């Protein structure tokens, strides 16, 4: 059986040790916290866990034949091969395929931070050594990043007139090219979403080639303790350096920050920069970018950011909070343990003046109390004991009933802001109907209606359903795709919503041509979560707008905010990801083809993949790639086949879109698992320069004669029918795995 992805990385480290002397360098320190998870079955000489997954942008040669290497492997030494959860075993002749790191000659990192979004560009040069003359091999680009990062473009100059590049195109266009997957992906099944590790395969790189690489991505900045901050994984291991050069000779880092306000900026270490947000009071700032001639979208863009004061200096609202915790069978194990821990944290963050309750749900509901109870210390302690002693994973998933029960419980409260926190790992039937029911109930409740915040766990929940539910409920939304992130992300969301300061916010904007606002309805302002509202408008934007909201003492707060021009801030790009996610959620709920088309246009223009587009990779030339960029700038439709090389194939870059969840997997109580790093078939077979052929993700389709995602599964000869008519999940009988068609 072929190596797993981490095992192939470890096997490559063994080869690297065996084929060239170890270069000992100055200790560069540990990687930034949380970047990325390490497989620490092995220990270094200091007894610390040895990181296997990349901690910086890396290029690997995919070694499938030892005879292709410059010298035979030796048996004298080599680090242990490491596999997730399987301990260590020393193997002087590592199992192939192995991912052999290329030598890095130089690399630069440029980070432009604008308001709450960072634009990251990495450029570098890598050399394919250790391969015999006249040999060639396939390669892999791996880029670790923060979970809120999204790669928007890659260019790889192979040095012999060949250029490998990426482009975002509509999903139906990707299907028309007949593209298959480069990382477990297809037009209908784009592979397991992995926001923490971008991977791109490119074929037939000649020995000795110098590769010039450019990678660009968006990254939302994180807010904590009154600061926006960003961290970039940029810790380089010794084995990527071709000589004894110290790191400052081969790396260059630049960071520019444009906050759009006069608030100060703090520069930190370990590639972490911070922007202060907390102010003396509620401080709105309004930036406007006029329409740009020649752009496909003729509208201008505005951004309203509202900075809250330090929570120590203000009195927030009294809250009435109902926590809804999914206890279905798929939550068993670590997901349930971490959800309980985070919920305990949420209970401890309540103030004695607050009210609360906890409802655990599967196909039935279990109440901590029949009604809301005061959040006195002894009562919250009882609730904490109860969630550990009484909530066990079991049963199915019914989300609507506990939502209605919580809504009923929060009716007719005076002097409290009502909140519902929904925590689930599943998708359910009629999610659009649930959204509409909640929308009607919340509209009838007016300003006293509950806020709904949602937290999704794993790949089977419908991220867009949860986002839409939170949008309707003026709340927050987040999702954790691996079990080790659940507790931390849940706690951050609970902290973010802990101190509401301004509610029922509205904008008075006098624009004859009208405007769109994202998000809408506008969420509340919290001391621990600044408010950012963006939008697009026709015509001329007024010099001032009015912001109105409700303070904790029930008095009306309003302020006239002066507009200022965006200057160097590319507002049309800063909030593109936020707008694209909200647009996708709205088009999913309404099934509005016009909204879907808008999402496709925005995705293609910005290079950010969405559910209706796919990022594809293809081989071309520098001249042809320049023509592609010129055509796109003019708004022309790009035919990739016109610009791709004659022998080149087009492949989908997998793992970049989330999907709409899986009702079938939820009904089967399938465990959420962790972010996919690939099993034994994690790498593609490019063959003689063709595309990577990847069938459906059932695990039994390695010998498919024909699939087309998924016409006929070759592993079991089970006919799934025409994929265009497939509207629901099917069960692959040969592997017992659930497929989302």
Q: Is residue 299 part of a domain?
A: yes
Q: Is residue 302 part of a domain?
A: yes
> Is the predicted pLDDT of residue 247 greater than 70, yes or no?
no
Banded model confidence at residue 109, pLDDT cuts 50, 70, 90: very high
Four-CA torsion 168, 172, 175, 180, nearest 10 degrees: 40
- Taking each continuous run of H as one helix and of E as one strand, the counts in the chain are 14, 38
> Is the predicted pLDDT of residue 268 greater than 80, yes or no?
no
Calculate mean pLDDT across residues 351-372: 95
What pLDDT shows up at residue 43? Answer: 36
Contact criterion met (CB below 8 Å) for 207 and 131: yes
Q: Is residue 558 part of a domain?
A: yes
CB contact burial 521-543 (16+ within 10 A = b; e otherwise) = bbbbbbbbbbbbbbbbbeeebee
Of the given ranges (409-413, 538-542, 709-713), which has the lowest mean pLDDT?
A: 709-713
> Is the predicted pLDDT of residue 133 greater than 70, yes or no?
yes
Which of residues 34 and 631 earns the better pLDDT score?
A: 631
Number of neighbours of residue 629 by Cβ within 10 angstroms: 14
Calculate mean pLDDT across residues 11-35: 57
Calculate mean pLDDT across residues 666-682: 62
Q: Is residue 337 part of a domain?
A: yes
Which of residues 499 and 275 earns the better pLDDT score?
A: 499
Query: Do residue 455 and residue 542 come from a single domain?
Result: no
Q: How confident is the model over 620-650, as pLDDT tens digits?
A: 999 898 888 888 877 778 888 787 766 567 8
C-alpha of 398 from chain center = 26
Query: Do residue 369 and residue 225 come from a single domain?
Result: no
Query: In sequence order, what DSSP letters do the residues of 237-248 get, joined into one string?
Result: -GGG-SSS--GG
Which of residues 727 and 350 earns the better pLDDT score?
A: 350
Which of residues 197 and 225 earns the better pLDDT score?
A: 197
> Is the predicted pLDDT of residue 495 greater than 60, yes or no?
yes
C-alpha of 507 from chain center = 30
Query: Do residue 491 and residue 508 come from a single domain?
Result: no
Shortest CA distance to 477 belongs to which of 499, 503, 451, 455? 455
Query: Do residue 483 and residue 360 come from a single domain?
Result: yes
Shortest CA distance to 604 belongs to which of 166, 141, 121, 156? 166
Of the given ranges (406-415, 439-448, 707-716), which has the lowest mean pLDDT?
A: 707-716
What pLDDT shows up at residue 158? Answer: 92
Domain of 378: which CATH number? Answer: 3.40.50.410
> Is the predicted pLDDT of residue 189 greater than 80, yes or no?
no
Q: Provide CB contacts within 8 A for 382, sequence distance 6+.
A: none
C-alpha of 706 from chain center = 32
What pLDDT shows up at residue 262? Answer: 57
Banded model confidence at residue 725, pLDDT cuts 50, 70, 90: very low
Q: How confident is the model over 286-345, as pLDDT tens digits?
A: 999 888 776 777 889 999 988 888 777 777 788 999 999 999 988 888 889 989 999 999
Token representation of residue 221: 């900045």
Which of residues 631 and 21 earns the better pLDDT score?
A: 631
Burial class (CB in 10 A: 0-12, 13-18, 19+), 178: exposed
Query: Do residue 510 and residue 424 come from a single domain?
Result: no
What pLDDT shows up at residue 686? Answer: 45
Calculate mean pLDDT across residues 19-35: 44
Query: Do residue 363 and residue 452 come from a single domain?
Result: yes
Banded model confidence at residue 651, pLDDT cuts 50, 70, 90: confident
**Residue 714 half-sphere exposure toward CB, CA atoms < 13 A:** 12
Number of neighbours of residue 565 by Cβ within 10 angstroms: 10
Q: Is residue 550 part of a domain?
A: yes
Banded model confidence at residue 350, pLDDT cuts 50, 70, 90: very high
What pLDDT shows up at residue 633? Answer: 77
In angstroms, the CA 31 to CA 13 distance is: 18
Banded model confidence at residue 705, pLDDT cuts 50, 70, 90: very low
Percent helix, percent strand, percent coil in the chain, to nearest 5:
25, 30, 45
What pLDDT shows up at residue 439? Answer: 94
633: part of which helix (H) or strand (E)? helix 622-633
In angstroms, the CA 479 to CA 658 distance is: 10
Domain limit, last residue, from 483, 498, 513 = 498
Query: Do residue 300 and residue 326 come from a single domain?
Result: no
What pLDDT shows up at residue 74? Answer: 45
Burial class (CB in 10 A: 0-12, 13-18, 19+), 9: buried
Q: Is residue 305 part of a domain?
A: yes
Calculate mean pLDDT across residues 500-512: 90
What pLDDT shows up at residue 701? Answer: 33
Calculate mean pLDDT across residues 238-247: 68
Which of residues 358 and 695 earns the better pLDDT score?
A: 358
Query: Do residue 240 and residue 194 come from a single domain?
Result: yes
Instruction: Please name the residue that has the structure tokens 């963050």.
Output: 349
Contact criterion met (CB below 8 Å) for 434 and 463: no
Find residue 89's DSSP bridge partners: 81
What pLDDT shows up at residue 366? Answer: 94
- Kindly report the average pLDDT of the chain as a whole number: 78
**pTM > 0.85:** no
> Is the predicted pLDDT of residue 29 greater than 60, yes or no?
no
Q: Is residue 492 part of a domain?
A: yes
Query: Do residue 323 and residue 364 come from a single domain?
Result: yes
> Is the predicted pLDDT of residue 695 greater than 90, yes or no?
no
Banded model confidence at residue 420, pLDDT cuts 50, 70, 90: very high
In angstroms, the CA 195 to CA 203 distance is: 24
Domain limits for position 466: 319-498
> Is the predicted pLDDT of residue 271 greater than 70, yes or no?
no
Q: How confident is the model over 439-457, as pLDDT tens digits?
A: 999 999 888 899 999 999 8
Domain limit, last residue, from 443, 476, 498 = 498
CB contact burial 118-135 (16+ within 10 A = b; e otherwise) = bbbebbbbbbbbbbeeeb
Contact criterion met (CB below 8 Å) for 495 and 447: no
Query: Do residue 254 and residue 125 come from a single domain?
Result: yes
Which of residues 158 and 265 earns the better pLDDT score?
A: 158
Query: In sequence order, what DSSP letters do the residues of 528-557 get, joined into one string?
Result: TB-EEEEEEESSPPPSEEEEEEE-TTS-EE
Query: Do residue 345 and residue 383 come from a single domain?
Result: yes
Domain limit, last residue, from 459, 482, 498 = 498
Query: Do residue 513 and residue 489 come from a single domain?
Result: no
In angstroms, the CA 181 to CA 701 distance is: 14
Calculate mean pLDDT across residues 586-596: 94
Banded model confidence at residue 244, pLDDT cuts 50, 70, 90: low
In angstroms, the CA 300 to CA 179 distance is: 36
> Is the predicted pLDDT of residue 475 greater than 60, yes or no?
yes
Calculate mean pLDDT across residues 564-593: 88
> Is the predicted pLDDT of residue 674 greater than 70, yes or no?
no
Query: In sequence order, what DSSP letters do the residues of 451-487 get, joined into one string?
Result: EEEEEEESSSS-HHHHHHHHHHTEEEEEEESSGGGHH
Q: How confident is the model over 49-102, as pLDDT tens digits?
A: 345 788 999 999 999 998 899 865 443 333 443 433 333 344 457 888 999 999
> Is the predicted pLDDT of residue 415 greater than 80, yes or no?
yes
What is the phi-psi region of residue 522: left when phi exceeds 0, alpha when psi lies from -120 to 50, beta otherwise? beta
Q: Is residue 414 part of a domain?
A: yes
> Is the predicted pLDDT of residue 718 greater than 70, yes or no?
no
In angstroms, the CA 362 to CA 359 distance is: 10
What pLDDT shows up at residue 274? Answer: 53
What pLDDT shows up at residue 166? Answer: 94
Of the given ranges (128-132, 188-192, 363-367, 545-549), which has the lowest mean pLDDT?
A: 188-192
The number of distinct structural domains making up the chain is 3
């Amino acid at each position: 059986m072929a190596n797993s992805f981490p095992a192939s990385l470890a096997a490559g480290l063994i080869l690297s040790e065996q084929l060239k002397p170890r270069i000992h360098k100055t200790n560069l320190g540990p990687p930034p916290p949380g970047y990325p998870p390490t497989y620490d079955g092995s220990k270094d000489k200091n007894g610390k866990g040895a990181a296997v997954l990349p901690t910086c942008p890396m290029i690997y040669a995919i070694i499938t034949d030892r005879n292709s290497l410059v010298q035979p492997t030796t048996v004298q030494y080599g680090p242990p091969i490491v596999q997730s959860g399987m301990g260590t075993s020393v193997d002087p002749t590592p199992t192939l395929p192995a991912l052999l790191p290329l030598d890095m000659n130089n690399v630069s990192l440029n980070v432009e931070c604008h308001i709450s979004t960072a634009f990251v560009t990495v450029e570098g040069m890598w050399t394919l050594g250790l391969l015999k003359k006249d040999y060639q091999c396939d390669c892999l680009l791996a880029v670790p990043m923060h979970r809120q990062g999204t790669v928007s473009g890659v260019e790889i100059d192979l040095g012999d007139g060949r250029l490998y590049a990426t482009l975002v195109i509509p999903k139906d266009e990707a299907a028309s090219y007949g593209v298959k997957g480069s990382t477990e992906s297809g037009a209908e099944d784009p592979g397991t979403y992995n926001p923490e590790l971008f991977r791109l395969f490119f074929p037939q790189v000649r020995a000795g080639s110098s590769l010039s690489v450019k990678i660009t991505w968006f990254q939302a900045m994180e807010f904590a303790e009154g600061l926006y901050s960003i961290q970039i994984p940029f810790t380089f291991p010794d084995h990527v350096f071709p000589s004894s050069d110290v790191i400052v000779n081969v790396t260059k880092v630049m960071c520019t920050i444009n906050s759009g306000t006069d608030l100060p900026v703090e520069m930190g270490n370990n590639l972490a920069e911070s922007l202060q947000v907390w102010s003396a009071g509620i401080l709105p700032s309004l930036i406007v970018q006029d329409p740009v001639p020649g752009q496909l979208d003729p509208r201008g863009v505005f951004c309203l950011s509202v900075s809250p004061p330090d929570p120590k200096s203000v009195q927030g609202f009294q809250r009435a909070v109902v926590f809804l915790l999914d206890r279905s069978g798929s939550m068993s194990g670590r997901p349930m343990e971490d959800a309980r821990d985070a919920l305990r944290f949420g209970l401890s963050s309540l103030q004695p003046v607050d009210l609360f309750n906890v409802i655990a749900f599967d196909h039935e509901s279990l109440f901590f109390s029949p009604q809301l109870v005061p959040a006195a210390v002894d009562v919250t302690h009882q609730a904490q004991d109860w969630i550990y002693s009484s909530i066990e994973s079991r049963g199915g998933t019914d989300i609507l009933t506990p939502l209605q029960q919580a809504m009923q419980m929060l009716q007719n409260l005076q002097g409290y802001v009502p909140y519902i926190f929904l925590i689930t790992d599943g998708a359910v039937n009629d999610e659009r109907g649930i959204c509409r029911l909640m929308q009607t109930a919340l509209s009838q409740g007016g300003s006293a209606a509950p806020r709904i915040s949602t937290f999704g766990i794993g790949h089977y929940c419908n991220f867009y359903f949860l986002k839409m539910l939170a949008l309707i409920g003026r709340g927050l939304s987040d999702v954790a795709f691996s079990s080790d992130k659940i507790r931390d992300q849940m706690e951050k969301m609970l902290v973010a919503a802990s101190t509401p300061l301004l509610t029922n916010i509205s904008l008075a904007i006098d624009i004859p041509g009208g405007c769109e606002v994202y998000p809408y309805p506008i969420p509340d302002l919290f001391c621990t979560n600044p408010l950012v509202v963006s939008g697009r408008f026709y015509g001329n934007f007024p010099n001032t707008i009015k912001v109105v909201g409700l303070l904790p003492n029930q008095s009306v707060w309003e302020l006239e905010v002066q507009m200022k021009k965006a200057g160097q801030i590319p507002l049309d790009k800063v909030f593109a990801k936020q707008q694209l996610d909200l647009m996708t959620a709205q088009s999913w709920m309404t099934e509005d083809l016009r909204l879907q088309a808008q999402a496709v246009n925005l995705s293609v223009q910005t290079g950010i993949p969405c559910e209706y587009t796919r990022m594809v990779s293809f081989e071309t030339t520098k001249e042809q790639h320049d023509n592609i960029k010129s055509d796109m700038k003019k708004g022309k439709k790009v035919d990739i086949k016109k610009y791709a090389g004659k022998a080149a194939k087009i492949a989908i870059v997998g793992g970049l879109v989330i999907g709409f969840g899986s009702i079938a997997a939820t009904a089967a109580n399938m465990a959420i698992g962790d972010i996919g790093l690939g099993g034994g078939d994690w790498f593609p077979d490019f063959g003689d320069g063709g595309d990577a052929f990847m069938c459906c993700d059932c695990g039994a389709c390695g010998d498919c004669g024909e699939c087309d995602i998924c016409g006929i599964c070759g592993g079991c000869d089970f006919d799934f029918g025409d994929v265009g008519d497939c509207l629901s999940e099917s069960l692959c009988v040969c592997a017992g795995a659930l497929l989302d068609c």
